[in-house]
Amino acid sequence: MTRAHLLGTGSALPKRLVTNAELAAEVDTSDEWIVERTGIRQRYIAGEGETTATLATQAALNALDDAGIDAKSIDLIVLATATPDNTFPATATKVQHALGCNGGIAFDVAAVCSGFLYALGTADSMIRTGMAKRALVIGAETFSRILDWEDRTTCVLFGDGAGAAVLEAREVAGDAADTGILTTKLHADGAQHDLLYVDGGPSTTQTVGHLRMKGREVFRHAVTNLADVLKETVEAVGVKTEDVDWVVPHQANKRILDATAKKMGIAPERVVVTVDKHANTSAASVPLALDTARKDGRIKAGDLILLEAMGGGFTWGASLIRL
Ligand code: ACO
């Protein structure tokens, strides 16, 4: 059977780093509160000239370089974002043009913090059915532009950035020992809309709006939903949780990462944590964490890795990949 294989990863961050202490000079908060409640120590904030498309393009170029692949051979770009450059066209088409691989398929997916998992699942399906051979899957966000900087309960939690992965179709035996994406499980529950949403949009207010979140309730749902989908994913492939070398989670809050790992019986040393450096970068967080752990040598060829995320909608999902 055909499976999508991960050939390379890349990431990009805005130039400006903002520490908790710098934020505390502008907002009624403290480094101590942010670190204790979330594990976040700093975030990167996009400046003039930096947009979701420019960050996505840089992450894509780094991923292509890592894979040793020419952009011209990319026939599919799926870009996950909740903060596109424009309402339309899709930011993916801007990235495609910047990379010079015009002519293939390019579109955005909107699943907020689960966006990279939704994009990965979509690209994997299109590769397995033969619609594409080489794909770029990108998560890119500029959440700083939809934050209410007067609302300390949300503005301290997020950052900007982008991460990308290059996938290629390869033939494998079709069993649990295969390399490539082994399975992706995705879910949504629209009943939870009001716990995490943006209070604007083209068809409602004709404004961009600001992020609104009932953090404590999101936290409670996140741990339950993530533990359930992790279990579903490993069971679907027929492997055990102990077989997983690395968990690469969405980086929302260190306490969510710890609670989910504990519930699943996963040792904390096997969980990639970047929330301290990047904060919550929504759809960019999983590929940013994946790229960080590949480049620093933790994640290696042959490893079994489990990606997972949960976000607004609610949406959530997980993907099991053997490198
Ligand atoms: N600085 C100082 N104090 C603050 C801050 C701040 N930045 N924010 C809130 N507080 C205060 C509150 O006012 C409250 O004070 P009170 O007790 O006097 O009323 C107190 O701190 C506790 O507030 P809680 O909201 O109950 O704090 P909690 O421990 O729940 O932590 C947090 C809040 C960090 C938001 C947590 O609930 C969380 O991480 N939730 C999950 C968020 C998440 O996972 N999002 C993922 C998806 S994101 C996406 O999809 C876009």
Give the containing element (helix H, strand E) for 96.
helix 91-99
Pocket of ligand 1 (CB under 6 A): 29, 33, 37-38, 112-113, 152-153, 156, 196, 215-216, 218-219, 222, 252-253, 256, 280, 282, 311-312
Residue 219 and residue 308 in one domain: yes
Residue 261 and residue 128 in one domain: no
Report how far ligand 1's centroid is from the alpha carbon of 224 (Å): 18
Q: In sequence order, what DSSP letters do the residues of 132-150 get, joined into one string?
A: -SEEEEEEEEEGGGG--TT
- Give pLDDT tens digits along the chain (323 positions): 999 999 999 999 999 999 999 999 999 999 999 999 999 999 999 999 999 999 999 999 999 999 999 999 999 999 999 999 999 999 999 999 999 999 999 999 999 999 999 999 999 999 999 999 999 999 999 999 999 999 999 999 999 999 999 999 999 999 889 999 999 999 999 999 999 999 999 999 999 999 999 999 999 899 899 999 999 999 999 999 999 999 999 999 999 999 888 888 899 999 999 999 999 999 999 999 999 999 999 999 999 999 999 999 999 999 999 99
Residue 158 and residue 45 in one domain: yes
5, 113, 210, 225: the active-site residue: 113
Q: Tokens standing for 55?
A: 């960050």
Among 3, 1, 4, residue whose Cα is nearest residue 167? 4
The separation between CA 95 and the C-alpha centre of its own chain, rounded to angstroms, equals 17
Q: What angle do CA 274, 259, 215 make, to 5 degrees?
A: 80
Among 257, 297, 259, residue whose Cα is nearest residue 274? 257
Q: What is the pLDDT of residue 14?
A: 98
Among 247, 180, 255, residue whose Cα is nearest residue 216? 255
**C-alpha distance from residue 214 to each of 33, 141, 187, 218, 222 (Å):** 17, 21, 20, 6, 12
Residue 31 and residue 150 in one domain: yes
Residue 16 and residue 106 in one domain: yes
List of residues 6+ apart from 141 with CB closer than 8 A? 52, 81, 82, 83, 160, 161, 162, 281, 282, 283, 284
Q: Which of 171, 201, 224 is the last residue of a domain?
A: 171
299-317 b/e (C-beta count within 10 Å ≥ 16 → b): beeeebbbbbbbbbbbbbb
Q: Which of 116, 143, 171 is the last residue of a domain?
A: 171
Backbone angles phi, psi at 280, to 5 degrees: -90, 110
Q: What is the pLDDT of residue 264?
A: 86
Residue 134 and residue 223 in one domain: no
Residue 202 and residue 291 in one domain: yes
Q: What is the pLDDT of residue 39?
A: 97
Contact 221, 279 (CB under 8 A): no
Q: Which of 108, 139, 171 is the last residue of a domain?
A: 171
Among 282, 289, 288, residue whose Cα is nearest residue 82? 282
Residue 155 and residue 278 in one domain: no
Q: What is the pLDDT of residue 263?
A: 86
pTM above 0.95, yes or no: yes
86 as an active site residue: the answer is: no
5, 210, 250, 278: the active-site residue: 250
Residue 162 and residue 310 in one domain: no
Residue 149 and residue 249 in one domain: no
Q: What is the CATH number of the domain that holds 277?
A: 3.40.47.10
Residue 167 and residue 210 in one domain: no
Report how far ligand 1's centroid is from the alpha carbon of 188 (Å): 23
Residue 195 and residue 290 in one domain: yes
**C-alpha distance from residue 15 to each of 6, 142, 243, 278 (Å):** 28, 13, 38, 12
Domain that holds residue 245: 180-322
- Report the atom number in ligand 1 closest to the C-alpha of 156: 7
Number of structural domains in the chain: 2
